[in-house]
């Protein structure tokens, strides 16, 4: 299957993408991984991206599109893939459609993870990270430490990242609504959108997604 995964920040896209890709035996292609791979390997596209990032500028669509095209051409992605973070806007979605047409294939589904905005804010703004080890992550509601402000694992101080503040989260949501959400309408006109609730346990959401994707195939 060829799938695009969309949803607001805090919807659990990365987690679901990993589970779904494994269940479907297709590679999970995330924008973050594309950037890291190209930059670490010193590709021409990676060098271009790095220059924009070092200047504090957004990486142009054509660079991101080029990275995605190269990755989708790899042998493991020929039979299908799950895209996470790409396309990010309608222009990228149109470019993806054109790429796939050139290969004589098309998307099978666009999986839309739906989460109420207040839940997104609660999920992200409630995260607390250990200053000693960022892998130690807690949540004031869903996974609270035994002692407030103290890491259960190493005793380090827990803090809220600037990116996780409520104000920043709401700004990220506004960017999502303005730039990325329109691709849902774009793909809906093609009959590709499958919307599921991303509330509940991780396994419940995965099962829900697999069932919805199977129905969309039928």
Q: Which one is catalytic: 122, 123, 127, 128?
A: 127
Q: Which one is catalytic: 22, 36, 131, 161?
A: 161
Any catalytic annotation for residue 128? no
Q: Which one is catalytic: 13, 71, 122, 128?
A: 13
Any catalytic annotation for residue 71? no
Spatial distance between the Cα atoms of 144 and 146, rounded to a whole number of angstroms: 7
**3-state SS class at 38:** helix
Any catalytic annotation for residue 161? yes
Q: Which one is catalytic: 88, 122, 146, 201?
A: 88
In 42-89, alpha helices (H): 44-54, 61-72
Closest CA to 100 of 61, 75, 68: 68
Any catalytic annotation for residue 201? no
Contact of 142 with 202, CB cutoff 8 Å: no
Spatial distance between the Cα atoms of 101 and 85, rounded to a whole number of angstroms: 21
Any catalytic annotation for residue 127? yes
Which are the catalytic amino acids?
13, 88, 127, 161, 172
């Amino acid at each position: 299957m060829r799938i695009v995964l969309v949803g607001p920040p805090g919807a659990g896209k990365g987690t679901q993408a990993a589970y779904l890709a494994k269940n479907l035996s297709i590679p999970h292609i995330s924008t973050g991984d594309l950037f890291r791979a190209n930059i670490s390997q010193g590709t021409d596209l990676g060098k271009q991206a790095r220059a924009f990032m070092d200047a504090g500028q957004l990486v142009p669509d054509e660079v991101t599109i080029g990275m995605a095209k190269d990755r989708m051409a790899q042998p493991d992605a020929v039979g299908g893939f799950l895209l996470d973070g790409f396309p990010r806007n309608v222009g990228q979605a149109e470019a993806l459609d054109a790429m796939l047409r050139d290969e004589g294939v098309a998307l099978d589904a666009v999986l839309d993870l739906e989460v109420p905005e207040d839940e997104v804010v609660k999920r992200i703004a409630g995260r607390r990270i250990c200053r000693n080890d960022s892998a130690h992550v807690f949540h004031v509601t869903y996974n609270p430490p035994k002692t407030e402000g103290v890491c259960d694992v190493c005793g380090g101080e827990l803090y809220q990242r600037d990116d996780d503040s409520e104000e920043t989260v709401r700004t990220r949501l506004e960017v999502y609504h303005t730039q990325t959400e329109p691709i849902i309408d774009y793909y809906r006109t093609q009959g590709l959108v499958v919307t599921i609730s991303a509330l509940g346990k991780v396994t419940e959401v995965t099962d829900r997604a697999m069932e919805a994707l199977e129905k969309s195939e039928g």
